[in-house]
Amino acid sequence: MTLLQHELTDFTVQSYQNNEFHEVTKEDVLGHWSVFFFYPADFTFVCPTELEDLAEKYADFQKAGCEVYSVSCDTHFVHKAWHDANEKIAKITYPMLADPTATLAKDLDTYNEADGTAERGDFIISPEGKVVAYEVISSNVGRNAEEILRRVQASQFVYAHGDQVCPAKWEPGDETIAPSLDLVGQL
């Protein structure tokens, strides 16, 4: 089963951001691009390197009109404690979503019931709240924020230009492809 075009179900979760707790709902996600960045747990090993990488690219995501939401099955209190205790996590200004009941993790099929944690998955969500791209990888392999940003930008391009597709390694400003019968077997 694929999650492509899966629409997020209604949700309300607590968030930690900029020394404040606040709720985030499905309504907050609609109307703009989003990345839901699931990771197994706070106070772990690979996760802080990934979240720091996202923090360092956060302005680029915002410039692209995309909000980043990191998500784990920890509580918002644990997110705050980790933010206060770790210099890598202290750099984060994007919302850190708390999913202790695994509502989001189950909806996006990243919940590992045996461990009670989310798998390492990232989901690009359209302004309508639908999954347009995702990857789920082994919990011992970190991801690259720059590549996720590139996939966001490519997804935004094809969303706006339905008659074009983006080839491998496409970056904004690069040539795209207009699929046609004439190109079959020519690329």
The pLDDT, as a whole number, for residue 179 is 77
pLDDT band of 180, cuts 50, 70, 90: confident
Tell me what the mean pLDDT of segment 133-141 comes to.
94
pLDDT tens-digit readout, 101-126: 999 999 999 999 999 999 999 999 99
Is residue 79 in some structural domain? Answer: yes
Q: How many domains does the chain have?
A: 1
Tell me what the mean pLDDT of segment 124-145 comes to.
96
| 150 pLDDT more than 70 | yes
Candidates 47, 66, 73, 166; catalytic one: 47
Is residue 64 in some structural domain? Answer: yes
Residue span of the structural domain in which 124 resides? 12-148
pLDDT tens-digit readout, 7-60: 999 999 999 999 999 999 999 999 999 999 999 999 999 999 999 999 999 999
Tell me what the mean pLDDT of segment 125-148 comes to.
96
What is the pTM (predicted TM-score) of this model? 0.95
pLDDT band of 139, cuts 50, 70, 90: confident
Q: Is 185 left (phi over 0), alpha (psi -120 to 50) or beta?
A: left
Is residue 187 in some structural domain? Answer: no
| 186 pLDDT more than 80 | no
Q: Which of 25, 31, 33, 20 is nearest to 9 (CA)?
A: 25
The domain spanning residue 86 has which CATH number?
Answer: 3.40.30.10
Between helices 145-160 and 46-63, what is the axis angle to 10°?
A: 40
Cα dihedral value 79, 85, 88, 89, nearest 10: 10
pLDDT tens-digit readout, 58-112: 999 999 999 999 999 999 999 999 999 999 999 999 999 999 999 999 999 999 9
Tell me what the mean pLDDT of segment 134-141 comes to.
94
The pLDDT, as a whole number, for residue 177 is 84
Element (H, E) at 32: none
Is residue 178 in some structural domain? Answer: no
Mean pLDDT score of the chain, rounded to an integer? 95
Euclidean distance between CA atoms 113 and 73, whole angstroms: 11
Within 8 A by CB and 6+ apart from 169, the residues are none
Is residue 176 in some structural domain? Answer: no
Is residue 179 in some structural domain? Answer: no
Is residue 45 in some structural domain? Answer: yes
The pLDDT, as a whole number, for residue 118 is 97
Is residue 99 in some structural domain? Answer: yes
Q: Is 166 a catalytic residue?
A: no
Within 8 A by CB and 6+ apart from 127, the residues are 30, 31, 32, 33
